[in-house]
């Protein structure tokens, strides 16, 4: 609106940002309609995350499964690029917020995206499956579609560190228990296991589901979108990033790079040479 009465301009300003998440008035803060003072001390932080993202408080079963997934992804050591970046940033004099931001910024498609990508795969299988389809056939169809598109990597399976990711059996057991209690329907746990079967077929060793694959099962069972799946992974990993940044602050150290000076790096350029005194015009 380029003009209008003062009342119209005020109305436009009020409608500029619209949110169902929070209402703030003098002396009052409501989160999704709940007075914040009633939430404080009565709901967990995990419940508050669910409330903010989903619009209402979770059931106890939803909260427990959601929390288990969040706990599983908090850290994977300084060899993880995001953690290493946070620690290096601290040795360069960065403050905690800068170190955390630097680390979070690399949680992109390769380092931070497989969980979201695996959720997209599971949802694609679910759509192919429909209500009465054959699960194995639906998985084969979706995997072949990925191969035809040039996608050779199946996100959420295999691990460069762990022959079997220690987080996977525990989380799958929790999903199975929730399914047995009808707190989730188990549909996506079945899809995840069917994908593992399909990609392991004919191989000497299975390619087991990793933490991205099993948390993708949980987030799909809980009805999150793939984008939210990545977002809550980043929330979880931020805990590890903060812990490592703080530990490095306490340890001290200045300008630590990715490797010690004694190890250095591999140079692959030309041998040392002199600058020619005369050059072609």
Give the model confidence (pLDDT) of 5-21 as tens digits. Answer: 999 998 998 889 999 99
Give the model confidence (pLDDT) of 230-253 as tens digits. Answer: 999 999 999 999 999 999 999 999
Report the side by side order of strands in the sheet with 28-31.
22-25, 28-31, 34-35
Q: List the structure tokens of 102.
A: 């630097």
Cross-strand partners of 29: 24
Q: Where in the chain are the domains?
A: 26-58, 59-256
Give the model confidence (pLDDT) of 121-149 as tens digits. Answer: 999 999 999 877 899 999 999 999 999 99
Instruction: Give Rg (Cα) of the chain.
Output: 25
In the predicted model, what is the mean pLDDT of the chain? 95
pLDDT at 1 over 70: no
* Higher-pLDDT residue of 81, 4: 81
Closest residue by Cα to residue 209 from 227, 236, 190, 223: 190
Q: Please say whether the beta carbons of 125 and 195 come within 8 A.
A: yes
Homologous superfamily of the 59-256 domain (CATH): Cytochrome P450-Terp, domain 2 (1.10.230.10)
pTM for the whole structure: 0.93
Residues 6+ apart with CB under 8 A from 112: 82, 106, 230, 233, 234, 237
Helix/strand/coil (H, E, C) string of 146-175? HHHCCCCCCCCECCCCCCCCCHHHHHHHHH
DSSP string, 34-80: EEHHHHTTTS-HHHHHHHHHHSSPPPHHHHHHHHHHHHHTS---TTS
pLDDT at 3 over 80: no
Give the model confidence (pLDDT) of 66-113 as tens digits. Answer: 999 999 999 999 999 999 999 999 999 999 999 999 999 999 999 999
pLDDT of residue 159: 83
Q: List the structure tokens of 166.
A: 């220690």
């Amino acid at each position: 609106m380029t003009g209008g009465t003062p009342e119209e301009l005020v109305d436009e300003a009020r409608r500029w940002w619209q949110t169902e998440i929070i209402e703030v008035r003098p002396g009052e803060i409501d989160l999704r309609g709940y007075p914040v003072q009633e939430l404080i001390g009565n709901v967990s932080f995990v419940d508050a995350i669910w409330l903010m993202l989903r619009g209402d408080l979770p059931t106890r079963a939803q909260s427990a499964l959601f929390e288990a997934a969040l706990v599983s992804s908090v850290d994977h050591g300084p060899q993880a690029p995001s953690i290493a970046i946070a620690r290096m940033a601290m040795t360069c004099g960065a403050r905690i917020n800068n170190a955390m931001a630097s680390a979070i910024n690399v949680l992109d498609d390769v380092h931070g995206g497989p969980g979201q990508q695996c959720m997209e795969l599971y949802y694609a299988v679910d759509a192919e499956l429909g209500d009465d389809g054959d699960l194995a056939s639906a998985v084969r169809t979706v995997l072949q579609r990925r191969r035809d598109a040039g996608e050779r990597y199946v996100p959420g399976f295999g691990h460069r560190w762990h022959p079997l990711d220690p987080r996977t059996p525990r989380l799958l057991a929790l999903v199975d228990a929730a399914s047995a209690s009808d707190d989730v329907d188990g549909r996506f746990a079945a899809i995840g296991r069917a994908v593992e079967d399909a990609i392991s077929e004919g191989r000497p060793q299975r390619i087991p589901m990793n933490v991205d694959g099993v948390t993708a099962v949980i987030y799909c069972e809980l009805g999150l979108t793939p984008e939210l799946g990545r977002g809550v992974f980043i929330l979880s990993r931020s805990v590890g990033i903060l812990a490592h940044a703080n530990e490095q602050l306490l340890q001290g150290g200045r300008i630590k790079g990715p490797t010690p000076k004694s190890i250095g790096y591999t140079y692959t350029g030309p041998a040392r040479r002199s600058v020619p005194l005369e050059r072609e015009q």
